[in-house]
A and B are shown apart, each in its own frame.
Chain A
Amino acid sequence: MYESATQPGVIIGFEVDIAEALARELGVRAKFHQNDWSNLVPSLERGDFDIALNGLEDTPARRARLRLSRPYFVYGETLAVRAGSSLHTLSQLSGRRIGTLNQTVAQDLLQAQRAEIVLYEGQQEPYMDLSRGRVDGVLLDHVIADRYGCGQPGLECVKQDLARGTYVIGIRPTDAELASRVDAALSRLIEAGELRRILEHWRLWDARQQELSARAPVAPLSASASSTALAAPPSSTAAQAAPSVESKPSKPTLSVAQLGLFFRGALITILISLCAFGLALPLGVLLAVVRSHGGRVSRFFATAYIELFRGTPVLLQLYVLYYGLSSVVRLGPIQAAILGLGLNYAAYEAEVHRGALAALPRGQAEAASSLGLSRYQVLRHVLLPQSFRIALPALTNDFVALLKDSSLVSVITVVELTKRMTIVAVELRDWVVPGLLCAAMYFALSFPLSRLSLWLERRYQSA
């Protein structure tokens, strides 16, 4: 259920124990397969593994798509708020900024309330942002809330569950026999008290779990709608922000609303890329000039900057900027994205421009100085206009790279083009159409730029 790895590389958790107990009942050996949580169902359908047992919540959409076992765990949707907050019911969340994980039922519940949903990739970050005031509440299942949120200083959790749901085991629809064997084995574990022992061992047995036996007779493998539909994932990475809460049994197609959101994602990608490059370019030129013309001390700092930002992953820089420094500077996600990418790319632009400046014949600077131009004037009127032309192909290259790297900012809750694609793909249960649409949009952004750059290069050459 949760990634409590006291031994590095060893997966442990109550679901591991349940899986092993089930394997014993079935007379097989459990083999664990590491998978991105949000792609659990597609991977199951692909046949990467035979059983999905990892916080898979019982929802009508999943019932229409998979065979689901009887529940093995009951969870409550828990609302965490800052101490003293007046928020304690779902309906109060309308219009408020509420954090949750992607592709959860909590998210669907928030959507139904028209809350402003902020999607996180990790389980700890939403509570950090709640403490910092970036969100007004966090709605997640009680296992995550108890572990990461409710005990945090300054935070409290609403006592009553805002909703309740169950985790079930997913099996391919074609594996009817396996499904009934799993169900029978699970029933035996419940009746023998084995499941309770496992949950108690992990300190997860509570009053909620008494519903487990009660829920046993509910035709678990039927395709009919389940009682309460909600859930929370254990360790998730991908995306989800459904514009419609209800899931239809038939395969949904791309709606106009989704298309609109796609364009919105593309706009955010353009906005972030342009602003970040608008920051990276002048800063990079400045660093390059300092590095090639500055004094010893300023040269040292420019070099240190470049090595630091070039030598560490931009993902790490985004995390540090948004979460790590949030007690010092509280940036919004978009500002943090622009600043993070801009500061990072400045290091690359600095090297591009330093190389271009070094490529200029030495005589250019000498001739300009011999005319009585100041050092600044030499740079401004003679060196930089020429080095810029040399740098142009590399600049274009970097901008196109930045355009695509901007997808990384989804880790700090920005929903840009790629993130939107993954969300829509999950909603549509199809990666081909959203994927092609997303690729086409990136191409539509980068291709004109390449042409513009070529045109500029030719113009400079013929000039």
Chain B
Amino acid sequence: MIRISGLRKSFAGHSVLGGIDASVAEGKIVALLGASGSGKSTLLRCLNGLETFDDGTLEIAGFSLKSGSHNPHTLQALRAKVGMVFQEFHLFAHLSVLDNVTLAPRVARRTARAQAEAHARELLAQVGLADRAHAMPRQLSGGQKQRVAIARALAQGVSVLLLDEPTSALDPELREEVREVLRNVARGAHSASGAALTILLVTHEHALAHELADEIWTLSAGKIAGVAERRREQSP
């Protein structure tokens, strides 16, 4: 469950988010479309506290955020429930694939290494990289890196997944492997088994948005210009 109320943010006097009110029900997938600079990435980054905001409130994964700086402990707890995937992957260059995925569970959640690794291997299998667990990030293709980043974002059993243009930095021929992983994640989000996963996907790929999302928000000049709901066909 995500609720956004009156969210405003400006950078150096320039309004980026001009009052956003919206909510996402648990287990739903929302795609955010909009031109560059429309504020969709900033909105996403506000949701896990990477950006502060000037006015309004946010409720996400059972936490609420207010304008101004956030309490670091609240943020840490929130981020354990809200995963994020970046356009540029941001894998930790000095850690193997497996260690990238297990770092947060081991260090921030204090999960035992064996348990964290077992879970990480499951996730890596889900993104099709079971055999690359000991590879270093620089040995991977862009598509592979993004699949690791998705596994890393999911490793803590998050209830919300924020995807910030996950395919934009990839060559067109590598995008499909990431889309395929996203389809799997989305299917998991909609399946009755396991905890419900709410997904916000910022993308320029209209086809992907229409394929995966329950709702499509179109942002323009820092406001939601349109919301399109779609009845998904039920699980395949």
A interface with B by C-beta (< 8 Å): 361, 363-364, 366-375, 377, 381-382, 385-386, 389, 460, 463
Contacts and interface: CB of A to CB of B under 8 A. Distances in A.
A340 B134 CA distance: 44
B79 interface: yes
A375 B103 CA distance: 14
A381 B100 CA distance: 11
A228 B104 CA distance: 80
Given A366-B50, A377-B107, A463-B136, A371 B90 contact: no
B76 A373 contact: yes
A372 B77 contact: yes
B198 interface: no
B155 to A, nearest CB: 8
B152 interface: yes
A382 B92 contact: yes
Contact of B90 (A367, A372, A381, A463): A367
16 contacts: A363-B90, A367-B84, A367-B90, A367-B92, A369-B79, A370-B50, A370-B86, A372-B75, A372-B109, A372-B156, A373-B76, A373-B104, A373-B107, A374-B76, A375-B72, A381-B107
Contacts of A381: 103, 107
A371 B50 contact: no
B48 A370 contact: yes
A191 B92 CA distance: 89
Contacts of A372: 75-80, 104, 108-109, 156
Nearest to A388: B94
Given A366-B86, A372-B104, A389 B76 contact: no
Contacts of A460: 94
A374 B92 contact: no
Contacts of A364: 90, 92-93
Given A372-B104, A373-B104, A377-B108, A386 B79 contact: no
A378 to B, nearest CB: 10
Interface string B170-203: 0000000000000000000000000000000000
Interface string B69-85: 00010011111100110
Nearest to B73: A374
Contacts of B93: 364, 386
Instruction: Please report whether the interface of chain A is mostly helix, strand, loop or mixed according to DSSP.
Output: helix
B21 interface: no
A370 B103 contact: no
B54 interface: no
Interface residues of B, number: 28
B217 to A, nearest CB: 21
B119 to A, nearest CB: 14
Interface of B: 48, 50, 72, 75-80, 83-84, 86, 88, 90-94, 103-104, 107-109, 136, 149, 152-153, 156
Given A377-B107, A381-B107, A389-B94, A370 B80 contact: no
Given A361-B90, A389-B94, A374 B72 contact: yes
Contact of A371 (B88, B94, B103): B103
Contacts of B94: 385-386, 389, 460, 463
B117 to A, nearest CB: 16
A389 B93 CA distance: 11
Nearest to A370: B84
Contacts, number: 68
Contacts of B86: 363, 366-367, 370
Contacts of B48: 370
B47 to A, nearest CB: 11
Given A366-B50, A389-B94, A371 B72 contact: no
Given A366-B50, A367-B90, A369-B50, A374 B84 contact: no
Contacts of A371: 79, 83, 103-104, 108, 152-153, 156
Contact of B92 (A368, A369, A370, A377): A368
A373 B108 contact: yes
A371 B91 CA distance: 12
A30 B77 CA distance: 84
Contacts of B107: 373, 377, 381
Nearest to B106: A381
A225 to B, nearest CB: 71
A364 B86 CA distance: 11
Given A367-B149, A372-B156, 4 more contacts: A367-B84, A369-B75, A371-B83, A372-B109
Nearest first, the 4 A-B pairs at minimum CB distance are: A367-B90, A372-B79, A371-B104, A363-B90
Nearest to A367: B90
Contacts of B79: 369-372
A443 to B, nearest CB: 32
A374 B77 CA distance: 10
A431 B137 CA distance: 55
B108 A374 contact: yes
Nearest to B155: A371
Given A371-B108, A373-B108, A463-B136, A366 B90 contact: yes
A363 B78 CA distance: 19
Of A366, A371, A377, chain B has the most CB atoms within 10 Å of the CB of A371
A385 B92 CA distance: 10
Nearest to B99: A381
A78 B113 CA distance: 72
Contacts of A373: 76, 103-104, 107-108
Contacts of A375: 72
B98 to A, nearest CB: 14
A389 B86 CA distance: 24
A361 B103 CA distance: 19
B54 to A, nearest CB: 20
A386 B91 CA distance: 12
B9 to A, nearest CB: 17
Contacts of A386: 92-94
